[in-house]
Amino acid sequence: MKRLRLTLLLLMLMMMLTACAPSGNSMEALSVTAAPQEDEIPRADGDDAAATDASALIWYRYGDEPMLAAERRTVSRLPNEPYETALLRLLLEGPSLDAPALRGLFPAGTRVISTSRQGEMLFVTLSYQLMNGYSDEPSNWRSDTAWAQEVPLRRRLAMQAIAATVTENTTAQQVVILLEQRGETTDSLRLRQKYYTLNAADDALADPLRRDESLLLTASGTMRTILTCIQQRDIRRLYRYLAQSDPDTGEARMEYEAFASKWTEYPALTAFDFSGGSASGTRAVFTVSGTRLADGVSQKFTGRSVHLMKTGGLWCISMSQLTAIVEGTP
């Protein structure tokens, strides 16, 4: 009797253990979910990143100058949006209201379709509106001397604005521009030379874009432009780089007519060279040498320190620093 009870007790225990054991399918589920696979680990970089804001320098045209100047902007990146796309989207939208001296460079409606990075090369696809004319562009611009120079210049600056903005804020070294395809065209996406030459028959592929410092109003680029204006006696253009006020004298910038009249009193600058450009916040210092010509007599000067100041994001020169270049001591 005792043996029978013991046997029944053992049978009951075995049944209870069997009921508590997971099924075969449950065990398989546990083996699948026990540890995440490496490729399932969430990533915080690249296209999978959440929306983020970053500060960047965006290059736009400075007034009517054949040069680009930078504005510091906040780049708002959407979820799953490549940083380069967000960067160029801001460029195409144009400068902010805080930078009235800067101008956008792209025809209305131009959009960034996509960006793709391959090593140090960035491929950028823009919408077809890139090939449209500008809103203020006259229909007979080819026969107008000023516009015949302005239209190609705008296109050149537009492409350099892309190259400068990309290389300023990323490690990309070159940019290839592609165009959005429309309809059933089988033409290559690659931008053609006719974009620059405005010659419909020029189907050669445009070269990849590279940064061109000669078109950028960095501190060094601004110094070079100012000295070139002095040498060429291009007074109207030089006036654009004159600071609104002089911190050394406390005087406000004089009107253009007074400035142009006063400039006739100064010696000519026949040659120049400069070096340095150490920048600290809103000031940059250069060492300038050159040759002045006054009353037919040449006078060389060497190693003169010239200061530029940065206001509203733009480098400029005060009147006292400007006059010191042309009439200061050797």
Q: Strands 174-179, 121-126: parallel, antiparallel or unpaired by DSSP?
A: parallel
Query: Domains, the chain, ranges and CATH?
Result: 48-214 (no CATH), 218-327 (3.10.450.50)
Average pLDDT, consecutive stretches of 10 residues, N- to C-terminus, the chain (330 residues): 48 47 36 29 38 87 97 91 96 95 96 95 96 91 91 97 98 96 69 89 92 96 97 96 93 96 92 89 93 91 94 93 85
The whole-number pLDDT of residue 49 equals 46
CA atoms within 13 A on the CB side of 238: 19
The whole-number pLDDT of residue 203 equals 87
Q: Which residue has the tokens 């054949």?
A: 66
Report the first-to-last Cα separation within the chain, whole angstroms.
Answer: 126
| Beta sheet of 314-316, edge-to-edge order | 268-280, 283-294, 297-311, 314-316
Strands (E), the chain: 52-62, 68-77, 102-103, 112-118, 121-126, 174-179, 268-280, 283-294, 297-311, 314-316
CB distance 26 to 34 below 8 Å: no
Q: What are phi and psi of 143, to 5 degrees?
A: -95, 0
CB distance 310 to 293 below 8 Å: no
Whether the model clears a pTM of 0.85, i.e. scores above it, the answer is no
The whole-number pLDDT of residue 59 equals 98
Number of helices (H) and strands (E), helices first, in the chain? 9, 10
The whole-number pLDDT of residue 184 equals 64
The whole-number pLDDT of residue 267 equals 93
The whole-number pLDDT of residue 200 equals 81
